[in-house]
Structure 1
Amino acid sequence: MKISVLLVLLAAVLWGTTGTTQAFAPKEAEPVVFGAVRMAVGGVTLLVFAAVRGQLKRRGWPVKTAVIAALSMAFYQPFFFSAVSLSGIAVGTVVAIGSAPIIAGCLEWLIFQKIPRARWWIATFAAIAGVSLLFIPSAASAGNVLGILLALGAGCSFAVYTLTSKRLLQHQRPEAVTGVVFSLSAVMLAPLLFLYDLSWIFSVQGMAVSLHIGVIATGAAYLLFTTGLEKVPASTAVTLSLAEPLTASLLGTVLVKESLPLVSWAGIALLLLGIFYVSYTPKKKRKIAGCEKES
């Protein structure tokens, strides 16, 4: 596998911890404000990292694209955490991220006239089939229509973020893109911090989940994702991100004791197959690529 593919996969695994982290947050932590805290901590972390690396530049920013990227990430937070709260960790994450590849591929097709490769279609259909198997039994027992709709909104937001970030990377370094976009998102969500009780943040448990959700599951994860996105097509990156619901389902089962029937494990297997297929490069193609570089 290419390093860029591994970076995207590692980012997805870190994202997969967010739903479980919310489950261990103090009861006073509302889903909407939890997402705002995530952006505040993550945005500051990424901006400081970009500044220390000397990657922040005033010029060369497509302002409209940057604002759209920030808006999509700002919308993703309340959509996702509310969906997880209403529908459960596995269902909320699976629907949110499982819907993103189709939306991203369709948007690339409609807006940029870029038809995804055959490998992407096969891998995505396999992954979506796995997502469906994960979703159906959970929805039958604990699904919530509003939660599912919110999860679909999160999937759309993530797809838009991926596509717009891909455009920003043509002008700026990954550190700068994540730092600026997430800081803007944090500013957009800042008013929510004044509407809810934030006393829970100052408890040991509150500080622990806030640091994890902001520094690890946001700062480190999105830096890895954006770095990998430089050399991975947006549609492929979103498909690889299906490792997030896989991780979320496993953590929900092991740590939060959410039960997964046999059909859901079959869905996990299909997800793995889809991720492997889209990221695997045959030896012949690798050799040809190596020869081309040498020449």
Structure 2
Amino acid sequence: MSTPVLRARPRPTAGPLPILAACLLWGTTGTASSFAPDSAPPAAVGAAGLVLGGLLLLLTGRGARDVLRAADPRLLLLGAVTVAGYALAFYPAVARTGVAVATTVALATAPIVLGVRARPLLTLVAVAGCAVLVLGGGEAHVDLVGVALALVAGLSYAAYSVVCAHLIGLGHPSRAVVGAVFGGASALTAPVLVVLGTGWLATPAGLGVVAHLALFTTFLAYLLFGLGLRHTDAATATTLTLAEPAVAAVLGVVVLHERLPLASWLGMAVLAVALAALSRPA
């Protein structure tokens, strides 16, 4: 009589759950940024959050120095450049073409580039649901420069996801990889922040917004995203991040008292169904 083989249950932290948790935090970005002082340039707000959050990730990323010594420096540089590129491109994109168009272009680019081959139907359904959710009001303003910046942000995010997933797949701890890459991004972005201006950081509103962006939408969110990349491929991970605009939309209704049209609620429902399916193993 053969002894039955006991299979270990998957850990709660495995799979897409940390990525969806990161999306909950990323979804607060727009609401938090709306409280920034009027004197704060949009790119400076994102840069400040990245500089501080990236430094925290580097200082607390146990093994980050080992990654910096052992990993391919070209990959580390690419990861740092793409992280910095996302922050510096996305916020100006929002300022030029609005939250709706910038979010749709930036967040839909990475899943289309990475996920359409792996799980094409679910990926396209998720992207369509995201587009209807964000653009359902029919009041979108399209600015070609803003769209181009959002596209740069989306491609940067896709490249960052692939780089980090590759480094983690080589056996480096996820926290160390995220710390090394974001530490580099912090160093690259700091001079840009100085040029853009830091006077607004001396205000209580400026400090509060940057503290939130650094601690929650950068530090904690990217730790969770890095953990998720250990158990989820980059294509699925970037598609799951389409949950972010759903969180942002709900916060807009609850906190900022915005009105969400019926089409947007229907888009959110389609997106939720697609993400639930993507959360299951292929």
TM-score (norm 2): 0.88
Q: Residues 155-194 of structure 1: matches in 2 within 5 Å?
A: 155-169=154-168, 170-194=170-194
Structure 1 residue identity aligned to 2:157: F
Report 1:204-283 matches (<5 A).
204-281=204-281
**Counterpart selection for 1:61 from 66, 71, 74:** 71
Partner of 1:84: 94
Change beyond 3 A, Cα 1:226–1:10: same
> How many Å separate the matches in 2 of 1:251 and 1:83?
21
Corresponding residue of 1:41: 52
RMSD of the alignment, in Å? 2.1
Query: Contact 2:19–2:241 at 8 Å: present in 1 too?
Result: yes
CA distance in 2, matches of 1:72, 1:124: 23
Unmatched tracts of structure 2, length 5 or more: 1-9
Could you report, residue by residue, the CA deviation over 1:143-202 in whole angstroms, capped at 9, with x for unpaired residues? 433323322221111111101111111242111111111111111112212223312112
- Do the aligned residues in 2 keep the contact of 1:93 with 1:151 (CA within 8 Å)? yes
**1:227-263 C-alpha deviation (Å, 9 max, x unpaired):** 1101101100011111111112222333334433211
Within a 5 Å distance, the mapping from 1:9-158 to structure 2 comes to 9-50=20-61, 53-54=62-63, 56-57=65-66, 58-105=68-115, 115-116=117-118, 120-138=119-137, 140-158=139-157
Q: Is the 8 A contact 2:98 2:140 kept in 1?
A: no
User: Which whole-Å deviations, capped at 9, do the CAs of 1:30-75 have from their partners, x for residues lacking one?
Assistant: 111112111111111111211xx45531532111111111111111
Which of the pair is proportionally richer in helix? 1
Identity among equivalent pairs (%): 36
How many pairs are equivalent? 269
**Counterpart contact for 1:19–1:93, Cα < 8 Å:** no
Report the AA paired with residue 217 of structure 2: A
| Shift of residue 273, structure 1, vs aligned partner | 0.9
CA 1:140–1:204: 2 relative to 1, 3 Å:
closer
Deviations 1:104-147, CA, capped at 9 Å, x for gaps: 236xxxxxxxx51xxx2222111111122134445644343332
> CA–CA distance in 2 between the matches of 1:196 and 1:91?
24
Alignment match, 1:197: 197
Q: Which amino acid aligns with 1:253?
A: V
Give me the whole-angstrom Cα distance separating, in 1, the residues matched to 2:140 and 2:277.
Answer: 32
